[in-house]
Amino acid sequence: MSELKSLFFSMTSAVVLLIIFAIGSGAATIIESYYDTKSAWAAVYGASWFALVQVLLGINLAYNIFRYNLLRKEKLPVLIFHVSFLFMLLGAAMTRYLGFEGNIHIRENETSNAVFGSVSRIEIAAEKDGQIYSNSIPKQITSVGSNDFNLPLEIAGKKANLTFDGYYK
């Protein structure tokens, strides 16, 4: 157990996590410049592995603050450096999981309270005998990554199914 602990919380693992984080961020930047922001978000920024790298990096940094006793006056610059990374990771987590992304259109000398969210959804809807049947899923269709989805809809005992056929830019 101590071998696993020393491997996971070592400076080597912190460096490896930072390299993975840098490569992922660089790949996302390249994807964004060649395709679009939604593609970079779908392929990297919104991916579970990218969030896991950030969480592991944060845990590693927090552990090493205490492991190397950085809470001393003579270690203050190193402590500030490490705590600043923790604040950046905390800010990124808050933005990702608690934030809302959208647009608000305000013309000159006007006010508005309408915000248009930027979460993309695929929706299927049908009407039969005055009753509306619908189903939707959150999904971004991008030029990179997997766009496959399967969206079923049951209408009065009969089934309809919406599937992905292809991406045309």
If you search the block for the tokens 């309408």, which residue do you land on? 114
pLDDT in tens, 57-108: 999 999 999 999 999 999 999 999 999 999 999 999 998 889 887 888 889 9
Q: Exposure string (b/e) for 42-79, b if CB count within 10 Å is 16 or more?
A: bbbbeeeebeebbebbbebbbebbeeeebeeeeeeeeb
Of 20-34, 51-65, 113-127, the range with the lowest mean pLDDT is 113-127
For residue 20, the one-letter residue type is I
Domains of the chain, residue spans: 2-99, 118-163
- Report the run of H or E that residue 123 belongs to, with start and end: strand 121-128
Cβ–Cβ under 8 Å, residues 124 and 151: yes
| List of residues 6+ apart from 35 with CB closer than 8 A | 142, 143, 144
**What's the predicted TM-score (pTM) here?**
0.72
